[in-house]
Amino acid sequence: MSNSGDSETTTPMAIVIGHGGFSEGLVSAVDQICGMAGRLVSLSMVGLTPETIEESIRAELARTGARVIFTDLPAGSGTLAARRIVKDDPGVVLVSGVNLATLLDFVFNSGATPTEAARSAAERGKASLIVVERS
């Protein structure tokens, strides 16, 4: 991971949670593309129960000060846990259906509030989906 000495680039701004190695892969790709993976914390659900997923997310939010949670599936265990957290803490924002374009937009949106950055990232992620077919 690159570190330019700028403390902001190493301050986690969001937690990325997903099934298997999904979150680690996305964070690794962000690092390879722009070196800004220090703004993200990956959290895998491998071996976790619904209760320990929620506990793990809460612990990472407390440890890092992150205010945004990205999850892979809208109805997945990570999202359900994150929704409970958002219900308890209105300062936390959840974006589900994360993809690489979403995270890249988020890490580059450092001047925005967490909510603004999350909204922008979600729009960029949706806009990045395309269908190419032979007519």
Q: What is residue 100's three-state secondary structure? A: helix
Question: Which residue is associated with the tokens 């129960």?
Answer: 49
Q: Which CATH number describes the domain made up of 7-127?
A: 3.40.50.510
Asked whether the beta carbons of 21 and 44 are under 8 A apart, the reply is yes
For the four alpha carbons of 2, 5, 6 and 10, in that order, the dihedral sign comes to positive
What amino acid is encoded at 100 in this protein?
L
Tens of pLDDT along the chain (135 residues) come to 333 334 344 466 999 999 999 999 999 999 999 999 999 999 999 999 999 999 999 999 999 999 999 999 999 999 999 999 999 998 999 999 999 999 999 999 988 999 999 999 999 999 999 999 998
What is the chain's alpha carbon radius of gyration, rounded to the nearest angstrom? 14
Amino acid at position 15, single letter: I
